[in-house]
Structure 1
């Protein structure tokens, strides 16, 4: 694919949900927890789009790939129509699974530099809490997946958020991946930098090739924040405690290793490291951390559901962690359509495996 790395913010949002899960450890006093909740950016689905002025604009042009640079199979109009009809037939026949013993929340990293538009969702992780299996699943949904966005049509998955913010993205994930997802937590890349810094950084291991690419991202982000990048550059590969800028730069790496597939793996690595640091915090540290972080996240989790999560939080931190991504290996093909390379999963196999993992 043509490089657009300077515009793509591979973001991790999971910390927001983790904060929700550990708040119960901060204290059971209603006044304290209610205050935490009110400090977060709860946004009802009805209000989600009111602050954005360019909803529905086509933002996919920046992802266009020249035919000579395309890696996907070029489809004729007839072949594309046949593919779309086949996908629609499966979507109509496969039921959406909704299990009361499983709580699904979509963690969203938004690619935007200001609040004037909703932004493309360039990082999406489906976090699923299975109370019976005592399992937390983190499933990365790759941004270039070819999906049907309700009311918009066949596009890349990351375009759903730009056209309808969190609510439309949730509807798109539910209808295409056939699992009921009603809740989301999101941040943009600036907020993610701040959240990781408030954790005191995370320990990561980088190769020399990853250092080279990460330093380019560090230059860009420091320039946007009017910081001296020399204070943040990696010197060489190895293991070190990374600041927010360094960790986000690592998570954005797309052109080292297996392209976007490995980038989603880096995102899950950062998330796991963050979870490990949270689990080791003392109660005063948790209190201070939650107080600082919650204003940085946007979500649609009602307060009563928050209380339910709080009650379960001590056991949730002991659950088994499963990390995967969709498309799964050997279950997809790449097509060149709408001047873009897109990933087309074998939806029948994919949905069967996803539901087996989650439920």
Structure 2
């Protein structure tokens, strides 16, 4: 059974390199996704009956790590989930008042031998059980080395089995990878086989180890930033960034949106991938290994990593990497009347159309 931990040792060196060079470099050195057009409609606000007595649902819970689930992760080669009804999933602990829990999605068929890896970037701190995964990219690989990348907004409002309707980025922090798997199955009809989790302190360490990065900014971007009373601006074009600037750029969204943040996140990740594969990055492999070892969490085994080797050939040929985003055309804005929280509600058929393209690669 797969376990979620690392121990130091020479036998893990190929594992770490493959995780990072494939699941970072390959993923992150591809082109930016096509821009999505915002919906012309206003946010949908659903009002309750005057005689109702709503109970507010918390949106960013402060979870106690002692209450966190410690899931066992099944081998994806032997498990073939086919959920057919609500009864196959844990019932919610909290029932929503203003919106219905959607029906479970049917599983999207995938070719034999295809692997789904979920890349997660989190705001996790030491001993913090209630963290959020604000970056979520599903990597789908075929045995022939074909790759597709699908980005999910953190504010997608979905059913988290065994808990409640909540933002997608809270699933992993609430119940670990097992809950994340069920959440993706229930809402999207896709099962992630493996995950790679990197916290934002890890991103800082990676960029510092590389001596900074050069980001190709797709357009001008301005937003508030701590220590800059008048805000901070990144002009379109080639921009040198240190770790703090890159992290600000990848997380800021007050002046834009969660969807636009996906674009900026992929620009930064692209820059990391390109620098990682530069001569400087390769010459500093030993130093980078120690940095990554303490900042990457995964359930990928060495055998699983070896299966990804064909994809390495695509690192220098990103034309073979297909990219998808769950964007404005696949969601609608919704404001919860009880809390005022603004979220993105998936449009099931539109989301499924994107995901079918992403995982049914020819």
Q: Same fold judged by TM-score > 0.5?
A: yes
Deviations 1:33-84 (A, max 9, x none): 534548999xxxxxxxxxxxxxxxxxxxxxxxxxxxx944225479x77962
Change (3 A) 1:290 1:329: same
CA distance in 2, matches of 1:342, 1:296: 30
- After TM superposition, the structure 1 = structure 2 runs for residues 137-286 of structure 1, keeping only pairs within 5 Å, are 137-205=148-216, 210-213=221-224, 216-217=225-226, 219=227, 237=235, 239-257=238-256, 259-281=257-279, 283-286=282-285
Corresponding residue for residue 15 of structure 1: none
Query: Offset of 1:193 from its aligned partner?
Result: 0.6
Query: Offset of 1:183 from its aligned partner?
Result: 0.9
Corresponding residue for residue 324 of structure 1: 324
Corresponding residue for residue 124 of structure 2: 112
Corresponding residue for residue 128 of structure 1: 140
CA distance in 1, matches of 2:162, 2:233: 48
Answer whether contact 1:117 1:162 (CA < 8 A) is retained: yes
Query: Offset of 1:175 from its aligned partner?
Result: 2.3
CA distance in 2, matches of 1:36, 1:349: 39
CA distance in 2, matches of 1:206, 1:126: 23
Corresponding residue for residue 335 of structure 1: 334
Change (3 A) 1:349 1:203: same
Answer whether contact 2:108 2:189 (CA < 8 A) is retained: yes
Query: Offset of 1:236 from its aligned partner?
Result: 6.7
Give unpaired runs (5+ residues) of structure 2: 1-8, 20-41, 53-95
CA distance in 1, matches of 2:211, 2:311: 22
- Alpha carbon RMSD of aligned pairs, Å? 3.4
- TM-score (normalised: structure 1): 0.67
State which of 95, 100, 121 in structure 2 corresponds to 1:84.
100
1:352 aligns with 2:353: yes
1:73 aligns with 2:45: yes
Deviations 1:186-241 (A, max 9, x none): 1221111111222222212569973553xx14x4xxxxxxxxx99xx978746332
Answer whether contact 1:210 1:237 (CA < 8 A) is retained: yes
Answer whether contact 2:216 2:271 (CA < 8 A) is retained: no
Corresponding residue for residue 78 of structure 2: none
Change (3 A) 1:145 1:236: closer
- TM-score (normalised: structure 2): 0.66
Give unpaired runs (5+ residues) of structure 1: 1-30, 42-69, 220-228
Corresponding residue for residue 34 of structure 1: 12
* Structure (1 or 2) with the greater helix fraction: 1
